[in-house]
Structure 1
Amino acid sequence: MSEIARIGVVGAGQMGNGIAHVCALAGYDVHLNDISEDALSAGMQTIEANMTRQVSRDVISHEDMTKAMSRIHTSTSLDGFSDVHLAIEAATEKREIKESIFKSLCDAVPANAYLATNTSSISITRLAATTDRPEKFIGLHFMNPVPLMKLMEVIRGLATDQDTYEMALAFAKRLEKTTTNAEDYPAFIVNRVLVPMINEAVYALYEGVGTVDSIDTAMKLGANHPMGPLQLADFIGLDTCLSIMQVLHDGLADTKYRPCPLLVKYVEAGWVGRKAGRGFYDYRGDAPVPTR
């Protein structure tokens, strides 16, 4: 296994900027790519704000932050990926978009570079098959928010070789992440369990079993969850939750994974959670207010 020193990250959204954040703190040089300068600027502002919060809590030093920020380079092109050792895709949870990104990456990165996806549900084998190096392709599913969550799901595709797997474990260790191995089945482990629970909470709301507030309160106090399922759905993004449910429903052909019509309705309305200002809660005021 060659030494990993330079990382490319495609996507500066909540997952991509989090991945760039932890890689830079771990001493990697990071090339962060997105389709617009605005997206990159917003991503860098988030990284700076999150690192500043870590400094204020004595998690890292100001010197650590300064060095890490200097290691992150941004661009709307993939030109900076010409010498990366590992390229990680962290784009929206749409298979067609991810496949298009990997086709571009194959032309941009060195022939011996590893490719990884942060997909939360899509087949690793299928994505790998769109590349020129399926044996050097792996799933690295970081949890959100990346700087805080300690878990990384490692998912091998059918063709992933042992060298790539060992690279992934060493990479996770340097990031101080705990790994769990998941087989390449729809939604892997965490989202296979978590997102159907969220979908069931939406069904409970849809069927009038409880209100947004009562459902979230019940699960926080009755199941000792730190966050209610509807509040968590807003944090993840209702569009992402819907995409994962669709992957589960299509991939496993079981009606228990049918997305709730109310979840579909919210996504159609553009009420996809905190990032849009509205989801199951309205975030546009001083405090979140349930929308149902």
Structure 2
Amino acid sequence: MVGLGTMGAGIAEVFARNGWQVSGIEVTDAALERGKSILVRSTDRAVETGKLSTADRDDLVGRIEFGGDLAAVADADVVVEAVFEDLATKRNLFADLDRRTRPDALLATNTSSLSITAIAAATEHPERVVGVHFFNPAPVQRLVELISTVLTAPETIERAQQLLDDLGKTTITCADRAGFVVNTLLVGYLNRAARLYGEGFASREEIDAAMVEAGNPMGPLTLMDLVGHDVSLAVLHRMYDETKDRLVAPTPVLTQLVEAGWLGRKTGRGFYGYGPDGVTDAPGPGPKARASRAGELPMALLAPYLNSCLKMVGSWYATPDQIDTGMSLGCRMPKPFDVLAQLGPREVLAAQQQIFAESAEPGDRPALLLERLAAADDPATALVALREVL
């Protein structure tokens, strides 16, 4: 396991929980100690909650050897990378791993936003490089996105799939595209929420309350504060660079939050303020809301989100089941196609048509698949058929 930040330490724990001998590697002593402390806190918490016995915890920790020398990868069957999200850093690392590892070793990157193809192309054997996007916290979250590139050998994907199955993970497979399945949908939804807030469409409280009422575990602005605005901004930049879709161009208020150092919970300020006792009454960074439009929530957020889901299906990038699995397991959000069934394709189309009429953005154009569902004699039956066939 190369890189022992929050994700790397969590992935190391996942492997050790399942009987693997793990070498955890970091570049500095301080980073190594931080990785150890993350692992200790996680496993101690598992003991306290009864999910691990003390003996199992000790065995788990005993299966992980910590060090700072990449020479440890020489005999590895699998190498997973979770270092800083910088393409040049990852390319250099994978070129080095390619030279140091056995020819039959599986090389995997946990990147959430960078091009896996570009990372693989830095090696002499790109056919053995694959993406395994774990979700945080890795020991708890069941979902992993398994990503192949045009260079990945079919047997590499088969091997990675079996590995993740053995680790008890639920996988969705996809090709190498900015954001993959989950972040493409999630970050687009979050960016729109930030845009609506920044344009005074509704207050932060109204936006968040509407989406919680719609069944989400937390509102989008609260979630962005939790994730960190620097993280969201980096993913949006990557998605926009690849697609040039203005819907994923970072909204100005998000860029301003990052420039101001208001990164969310980790800095004490974001869309909300945070103190020792939780959320404070600090004012938000946006303009005063035009309350007359708050009544259009939550459809103002749900229609574009569902439209994006149907575009993804229509482009054959993911199936309804993969999308439902990804968003429900990875984000704890209601299954999108359940939401579509509840609202009705015709109602969602009408809302999306209104949004497109106002924005004139090509990305807001209703998905062809949404139009076809709405035009069916019985849209509900057509939606059931779509979910069963794909």
Match of 1:6 in 2: none
CA distance in 2, matches of 1:102, 1:282: 40
Say if 2:283 is the partner of 1:267.
Answer: no
CA distance in 2, matches of 1:77, 1:179: 31
Contact 2:98 2:124 in 1 (8 A): yes
* Structure possessing the higher relative contact order (Cα contacts under 8 Å, 6 or more residues apart): 1
CA distance in 2, matches of 1:194, 1:171: 26
Say if 2:276 is the partner of 1:285.
Answer: yes
Match of 1:49 in 2: 41
Match of 1:113 in 2: 105
CA distance in 2, matches of 1:16, 1:72: 12
Q: 1:85 to 1:42 in 2, by over 3 A?
A: same
Give the residue type in structure 2 aligned to 1:239. Answer: D
Identity of aligned residues (%): 38
Q: 1:205 aligns with which of 197, 203, 224?
A: 197
Contact 1:156 1:183 in 2 (8 A): yes
Q: 1:10 to 1:279 in 2, by over 3 A?
A: farther
Which structure: larger Rg? 2
CA offsets per residue over residues 255-276 of structure 1, 9 Å max, x none? 1111112212222233333344
Displacement of 1:114 after TM fit? 1.4
Q: CA RMSD in A?
A: 1.8
CA distance in 2, matches of 1:251, 1:262: 22
CA distance in 1, matches of 2:27, 2:197: 37
Q: 1:255 aligns with which of 230, 246, 250?
A: 246
Give the secondary-structure state (helix, strand or coil) at the position aligned to 1:43.
helix
How many residue pairs were aligned? 283
Q: 1:231 to 1:44 in 2, by over 3 A?
A: farther
Say if 2:235 is the partner of 1:244.
Answer: yes
CA distance in 1, matches of 2:143, 2:16: 18
Give the residue type in structure 2 aligned to 1:255. Answer: R
Give the secondary-structure state (helix, strand or coil) at the position aligned to 1:146.
coil
Match of 2:209 in 1: 217
Say if 2:125 is the partner of 1:133.
Answer: yes
Say if 2:122 is the partner of 1:169.
Answer: no
CA offsets per residue over residues 131-181 of structure 1, 9 Å max, x none? 121110101011111111111111111121122112111111121100111
The residue correspondences of 1:48-197 to structure 2 (distance < 5 A) are 48-197=40-189
Specify which structure has the higher proportion of helix: 2
Give the residue type in structure 2 aligned to 1:216. Answer: D
Contact 1:139 1:155 in 2 (8 A): yes
Displacement of 1:229 after TM fit? 1.5
Say if 2:14 is the partner of 1:40.
Answer: no
Displacement of 1:277 after TM fit? 4.2
Q: 1:233 aligns with which of 204, 224, 233?
A: 224
CA distance in 1, matches of 2:28, 2:267: 19
Match of 2:378 in 1: none
TM-score by length of 1: 0.90
Q: 1:204 to 1:144 in 2, by over 3 A?
A: same
CA distance in 1, matches of 2:255, 2:273: 17
TM-score by length of 2: 0.68
Give the secondary-structure state (helix, strand or coil) at the position aligned to 2:278.
coil
CA distance in 2, matches of 1:43, 1:281: 29
CA distance in 2, matches of 1:107, 1:276: 40
CA offsets per residue over residues 64-118 of structure 1, 9 Å max, x none? 2111111112223312222111111112322222212212322332232111111
Q: 1:132 to 1:237 in 2, by over 3 A?
A: farther
Give the residue type in structure 2 aligned to 1:262. Answer: V
Give the secondary-structure state (helix, strand or coil) at the position aligned to 2:65.
strand
Contact 2:192 2:247 in 1 (8 A): no
Instruction: Structure 1: give runs of 5+ residues left out of the alignment.
Output: 1-8
Displacement of 1:211 after TM fit? 3.4
Displacement of 1:184 after TM fit? 1.6
